[in-house]
A and B are shown apart, each in its own frame.
Chain A
Amino acid sequence: EAGVAQSPRYKIIEKRQSVAFWCNPISGHATLYWYQQILGQGPKLLIQFQNNGVVDDSQLPKDRFSAERLKGVDSTLKIQPAKLEDSAVYLCASSSGALRVTDTQYFGPGTRLTVL
């Protein structure tokens, strides 16, 4: 079974530029998550989708971050415009979608973003 796919793996941009990340979850997984992991910290949830609907985006900085999952499968996360403090690893995860406490999340390899 293929795992969670993410691209690109690395991205370097100048501040105020835009960037987009792509995620393809494990086949059949209804729930998709985007996390931000700043160096030296644990991942922080940005947004959670159930199929193509948003379950939780309370920690997403909506003035510059946006995410979509139009067909309930792939997802893109966009930052526009980027700031220096957005330098982090962006992790995508998926789970079967039971929305229970037992629902295990499986992560992709992440995208390491550097904003100069």
Chain B
Amino acid sequence: AQKITQTQPGMFVQEKEAVTLDCTYDTSDQSYGLFWYKQPSSGEMIFLIYQGSYDEQNATEGRYSLNFQKARKSANLVISASQLGDSAMYFCAMRDNNNDMRFGAGTRLTVKP
């Protein structure tokens, strides 16, 4: 069964600094997709970035980038130039050929002014 691990329950970062949120995964499938979502206190899950297992380049979306290390089965999210509005829960998720999306337990990011 697929498993997603986020080892950092909480992280702090200074405004304008970069921060890396860790995510490791476990699957026996060769084809899978990795996703990161942001969940502010309002509760909505906001899609941030996607990485396919066959993608050779690391995904980037604005200030978000995904450090994909396939051999180590890690898909860390990097947020550059942190802003106060980045304070939220961040969830890593994976979808493989079973089609269901599995989420990690999340990391709470707090951006300090």
A interface residues with partner B (beta carbon < 8 Å): 33, 40-45, 48, 55-56, 89, 91, 93, 99-110, 112
- When chains A and B are docked, how far (Å) is the Cα of A42 from the Cα of B89? 10
B interface residues with partner A (beta carbon < 8 Å): 4, 31-33, 35, 37, 42-47, 50, 52-53, 91, 93, 95-97, 99-106
Instruction: Give chain B nearest CB distance to A6 CB in angstroms.
Output: 9
A-B contact pairs, 13 of them (CB 8 A): A42-B91, A42-B93, A42-B104, A42-B105, A44-B103, A45-B102, A93-B45, A100-B33, A101-B31, A102-B33, A102-B50, A103-B95, A105-B101
**Contact (Cβ within 8 A) A112 B47:** no
- When chains A and B are docked, how far (Å) is the Cα of A101 from the Cα of B105? 21
Report the 6 A-B pairs with minimum CB-CB distance, sorted nearest first: A42-B103, A107-B45, A101-B33, A110-B43, A109-B44, A101-B95
Decide yes or no: A91 and B52 within 8 Å by CB, A101-B31, A105-B101 being known contacts. Answer: no
Chain B residue at minimum C-beta to C-beta distance from A107: B45
**Contact (Cβ within 8 A) B50 A41:** no
Instruction: Give chain A nearest CB distance to B86 CB in angstroms.
Output: 18
**Contact (Cβ within 8 A) A43 B53:** no
Chain A residues in 8 Å Cβ range of B31: 101
**Contact (Cβ within 8 A) A48 B33:** no
Instruction: Give chain A nearest CB distance to B7 CB in angstroms.
Output: 14
Chain A residues in 8 Å Cβ range of B44: 107-110
**Contact (Cβ within 8 A) A42 B35:** no
Chain A residues in 8 Å Cβ range of B52: 101-102
Chain A residues in 8 Å Cβ range of B4: 42
**Contact (Cβ within 8 A) B100 A48:** yes
**Contact (Cβ within 8 A) A48 B43:** no
- When chains A and B are docked, how far (Å) is the Cα of A112 from the Cα of B42? 11
- When chains A and B are docked, how far (Å) is the Cα of A36 from the Cα of B84? 28
Instruction: Give chain A nearest CB distance to B26 CB in angstroms.
Output: 15
Instruction: Give chain A nearest CB distance to B57 CB in angstroms.
Output: 15
Decide yes or no: A101 and B100 within 8 Å by CB, A41-B105, A91-B45, A107-B44 being known contacts. Answer: no
Instruction: Give chain A nearest CB distance to B28 CB in angstroms.
Output: 14
Chain B residue at minimum C-beta to C-beta distance from A111: B43
